[in-house]
Amino acid sequence: MRGGRRIRWPGLTLRPLGLFWVALAVLGCAGAVALQFLGPPPAPAVTRASDAGRSASMIGVRAVPPRSHFAGAPRGTAKPGRISPGPIPPPDPALLEAATDVPGGGMLPRIAADGRAPMSVYAHGFPPPNGAVPRVGLLVAGIGLNAGDGEDAARMLPGAVTFAVSPYASNLPKLLDLARATEHECVVSVPMEPADYPADDPGPQALLRDATPAQNGARLHWALARISGYVGATGALGALRGERFADAAAQMDPVLRQIAARGLIYIDPRPGAAPPAGVWGRSVDVVIDEPANRPEI
């Protein structure tokens, strides 16, 4: 607690492994760990002249942000997922570009010149779907804040479980190498303004509703450049979900466009939210450890 705020970064103490924040994808279709079976991303909402009297969030008004941070690009025919099993490959230089606007540098994901995208190259390998056999996708958030817990998760959990890695974590290369060797695909957590902000503090690099597009763009780049070799992004930061920022379409839509342009998926951690527009991904259906007690889980 600091000045009445609950600090959730960067040294978040994780609960025991069985009580990690986990998002469960829907039964009967592929989820976060089987995204190659998702349908194409829904088209963004279209603003019509007759919508002028409605709120920005209802009509999906798009802000026009600086190109240096939010310039979109055609995604071509890239699709998420791969069907070949086995360990996930290390970061490929062809899928990276320098993050020139990030203090301290780093590398940002990109679609390669040959059309390969991070969301397929670094995905967990699944065989083609077998008829109507249901699949459940699991996303474990908060990975990296405690190295021991993260390594235990990589070794103990099935490879089909996806890890959401905190950008506030440090000393991640060893953990990410282990995650790839044990076939866990990863997404990076993008800190966003949560429902109970500022009581719940998503940290100094959070995307905020009252920040400028340039500020939010720089913070998005900072988060995306913290790790390499991942399939996508999520608003799940430990137990926080970035509800207030995600509900503001004028701020969230440019973020989704940037994620899509870089060949990434997006997992919306708000249970029951509409699928993210214009980007491969989906929302979660339930948070398993909420409330966080063993009988409820």
CA distances to 43, 112, 170, 263 from 118, rounded to whole Å, are 21, 9, 22, 6
In this structure, are residues 214 and 249 in contact, taking their beta carbons and an 8 Å threshold?
no
pLDDT of residue 250: 95
pLDDT of residue 74: 41
pLDDT of residue 288: 85
pLDDT of residue 136: 78
pLDDT of residue 77: 60
Task: Look at residue 113 and tell me whether its pLDDT is greater than 70.
Answer: yes
- Report the share of the chain in percent with pLDDT over 70: 71
Sequence-separated (6 or more) residues with CB below 8 Å from residue 7: 1, 201
- Is 216 exposed, middle or buried (CB count within 10 Å of its CB: 0-12, 13-18, 19+)? buried
Q: Which range is most confident: 43-47, 77-81, 249-253?
A: 249-253
Task: Look at residue 44 and tell me whether its pLDDT is greater than 60.
Answer: no
Convert the pLDDT of each residue in 231-244 to its tens digit. Answer: 999 999 989 999 99
Determine the average pLDDT of the residues in 214-236.
97
Can you say how many angstroms the Cα of residue 9 is from the centroid of all Cα atoms in its chain? Answer: 17
pLDDT band for 168, please (50, 70, 90 cuts): very high
pLDDT of residue 79: 81
More confident residue, 117 or 297: 117
Single-letter residue type at 141: A
- Is 22 exposed, middle or buried (CB count within 10 Å of its CB: 0-12, 13-18, 19+)? buried
Q: Which two tokens stand for residue 216?
A: 């939010």
Q: What is the pTM for the complete model shown?
A: 0.77
Nearest C-alpha neighbor of 36 from the set 94, 84, 72: 84
Determine the average pLDDT of the residues in 277-284.
92
pLDDT of residue 5: 57
> Long-range pairs for 40-45 at CB < 8 Å and ≥24 separation?
40/280, 41/260, 41/275, 41/276, 41/277, 41/278, 41/279, 41/280, 41/281, 42/274, 42/275, 42/277, 42/278, 43/277, 43/278, 44/253, 44/277, 44/278, 45/249, 45/277
Helix (H/G/I), strand (E/B), else coil: 188: strand
Domain locations in the chain? 18-43+59-287
Convert the pLDDT of each residue in 46-80 to its tens digit. Answer: 333 323 232 222 222 222 233 334 434 344 567 88
pLDDT band for 4, please (50, 70, 90 cuts): low
Nearest C-alpha neighbor of 225 from the set 102, 121, 142, 119: 102
Q: Quick one: fold of 18-43+59-287? A: TIM Barrel (3.20.20)
Determine the average pLDDT of the residues in 255-278.
95
Task: Look at residue 102 and tell me whether its pLDDT is greater than 70.
Answer: yes
Convert the pLDDT of each residue in 10-31 to its tens digit. Answer: 443 333 333 333 433 332 223 3
Convert the pLDDT of each residue in 62-71 to its tens digit. Answer: 222 333 344 3
pLDDT of residue 65: 33
